Amino acid sequence: MSQGQLQWLSLALVCFVGFLLLLGLWLFDRRTRFVVVFGIGMLLSSGAFGLLAVLNPVGLRQQVAAALAPELLFISIFAWICLAQVGTLPARADAPLPALLSRPRLRSVLRRSPLVLGTAWLSAFIVGMVWPSPAMQPLAHAPVSYLLFKWPLMLIEAFYAALSSAIFLTAAGREVPNGRLRAKNAAFAVAAFCGSMVALNAALNAAVRFWVVDASFRWAVVGLQLRLELILASLSVIAAAVGLALQYKPVLSTTLLQRLQSAWLNAYDRFESLRWRSVAVGRAREVTRASYHLARAAEWLGLPESNKQRALEVVELLVAMKNASPEEDALKPLSARELYEIQTEILRNHTLASRFTRSASWGFTAAEPQSILSVPHYDALGAALEIIGETQGDTQDPARPLWYHLAAVSAVDAGLAQRARTEVLACQPEYAMALEAYQKAKVEI
């Protein structure tokens, strides 16, 4: 049996032990979604490595395909972890980890993990098929095509695993009130870190196989790398099993709520300060004319008062974002987007959202405390950001309400949005209705 076959067989054993650990958790009433997913992943990985050890592909293209089969499982697990951290798992509506609430760019990076990892895997497959290399011969000298095949995928895997580890480590800090939760996140941090080191070790192995020409020295170094890979993989599996074994029922502690609410209030107050500063210095001239036309058009269309006010608020917010002073130019859309994304993430979890309150002393007009479910600007802010292209929203969505189309027409007329951003709406009957009513209002005035 070759060195490569021994390595695959050892990895198959490590993954199978991981599957048995997770199966034990499932049998002892730890039947969470993550236990099931990681258990299936470990079982499939064990089978894949076992088949590699038995079949021992000889052809170069066969070796490339065989080497990429387990990687497809690993990138799926990494992507699953990233989506779980940001709270966007399929068929679930969870809030992200608290450390991510005030970091919209980091959440965006994590959300893109399936696309980035999938693209890296597909690129490796194409490179491997076009320029095949001895991917299943760990002691053989490798051509430069092996670096092109191995490095992009391994480095991207290492990046996402290390990023997940850092986020889990942040969630295991002293500010987390529950000791079991801290231990759970720390175990996941160790598991993700070891996974990152496995990927980085594989990238270094490719470099050694390419640059080290002396066979005896290369064999010695690669032998150490293979043993290190087994150790890191074992630690990763054990740490993940420990993290899943530490059962924790999420509760909304006072400390956690204060931290999350602080991020929301800070973003809200920062944006409000910038918005009213632009109005106070007289930069809202466009809103007067556009708002008057919009109000008359809303009357022509018979819009309810609440929808008319929502459309007017969109125009007002666009004026505030577009007419920032030079030193605030980058702050306005950024502050608005940060506020909107924090609110969106909190609203994804109704239980969490219902616990957020803000009293009238903070600026609401109601005498009783209100929840974030009734926070001002949410719908209007989302529409304003979408109209100027500051969100990932699909402006071709046929479900857009009539007030949205009326706000878009008014924004283009006032020079607050580019016509190209709203051209995709032109094919929808609501947009045509809004445009006709707005033009009638202008002619009447």
Per-residue pLDDT, 338? 59
**Statement to judge: residues 301 and 413 lie in one domain:** yes
Amino acid identity at 41: G
- Give bridge partners of residue 371 from the DSSP assignment: 357
Burial class (CB in 10 A: 0-12, 13-18, 19+), 37: middle
Shared-domain flag, residues 211 and 136: yes
What's the Cα-to-Cα distance from 283 to each of 7, 310, 377, 413, rounded to whole Å?
68, 21, 20, 17
Q: What is the pLDDT along the chain (445 residues), one digit of tens a residue?
A: 677 788 888 888 998 988 888 888 777 766 677 788 888 888 888 888 888 888 888 888 988 998 898 899 899 988 988 888 887 776 554 556 666 766 778 888 888 999 999 999 999 999 999 999 998 888 888 899 999 999 999 999 999 999 999 988 887 877 666 677 788 889 999 999 999 999 999 999 999 999 988 888 988 999 899 999 999 999 999 998 888 888 655 444 444 445 555 555 555 565 556 555 555 444 455 556 667 778 888 887 888 887 888 787 777 777 766 655 444 444 455 555 555 565 665 555 555 555 554 433 333 333 333 444 444 456 676 777 777 766 654 444 556 788 888 888 888 877 777 766 666 677 777 888 888 888 888 776 5
30 touches 53 (CB < 8 A): no
Do residue 368 and residue 385 come from a single domain?
A: yes
Burial of 385 (0-12, 13-18, 19+ CB in 10 A): buried
Question: What pLDDT does residue 354 have?
Answer: 52
Give the number of domains in the chain.
2
Tokens of 52: 């590699």
What domain range includes position 115?
3-245
**Do residue 241 and residue 269 come from a single domain?**
no
Q: Which of 220, 245, 270 marks a domain boundary?
A: 245
3-state secondary structure of 87: coil
| pLDDT at position 329 | 45
CA distance 348 to 382: 15
358 φ/ψ angles, rounded to the nearest 5 degrees: -145, 120
| pLDDT attached to residue 6 | 86
Amino acid at 274: L
Indicate whether 164 and 239 sit together in one domain.
yes
Of the three residues 214, 245, 276, the one that is the final residue of a domain is: 245
Judge whether 394 and 383 are in contact, CB under 8 Å: no
Rounded to an integer, what distance in angstroms lies between the CA atom of residue 56 and that of residue 58? 6
CA-to-CA separations, 9 to 3, 5, 20, in angstroms, rounded: 10, 6, 16
Same domain, 241 and 323: no
Dist. CA 227–CA 7, nearest whole Å? 9
Q: State whether 312 and 193 are in the same domain.
A: no
Question: Are residues 241 and 291 located together in one domain of the fold?
Answer: no
CATH of the domain at 22: 1.20.1070
Residue 98's closest CA among 88, 85, 109, 108?
85
Residue with tokens 């008359």, as numbered in its chain: 296
Q: Do the beta carbons of residue 243 and residue 191 sit within 8 Å?
A: yes
User: Are 265 and 318 within one domain?
Assistant: yes
Q: Are residues 229 and 271 in the same domain?
A: no
Residues 178, 209: one domain? yes
Among 182, 217, 245, the domain boundary falls at: 245
pTM here is 0.60
CA distances (Å), origin 212, targets 107, 127, 134, 148, 352: 40, 22, 16, 17, 56
168 and 285 belong to one structural domain: no
